[in-house]
Amino acid sequence: MFVDARGGDRALRVSWHHESGLLVLSLWRDNVCAGSFRLAVDEVPDLIEMLRAGLDQTFATALAEHLDRLAHGA
């Protein structure tokens, strides 16, 4: 389970349903499921690649900003 960055009672849950060939992402408020999304197992690598690319870009930007601050003595 992943707690929403805004805090509070929101969360994301991930569950595998191997028998159906699905990954289910569900949104929760308190202990109530507010919505779900079913992703076919063969699409999971594309989702992972998208998340990885975003993480790579975020890291590269943060590293560049850090190196710039070091170079300018900040």
For residues 52 and 6, give the distance between their C-alpha atoms in angstroms, rounded to a whole number: 22
pLDDT of the chain, 74 residues: tens digit per residue: 999 999 879 999 999 999 999 999 999 999 899 999 999 999 999 999 999 999 999 998 888 889 888 888 76
> What is the reported pTM?
0.74
**Residue 74: per-residue pLDDT:** 66
CA 20 to chain centroid, in Å, comes to 23
- pLDDT value, residue 7: 81
Between CA 68 and CA 36 the distance in angstroms is: 42
Instruction: Name the token pair of 9.
Output: 């009672």
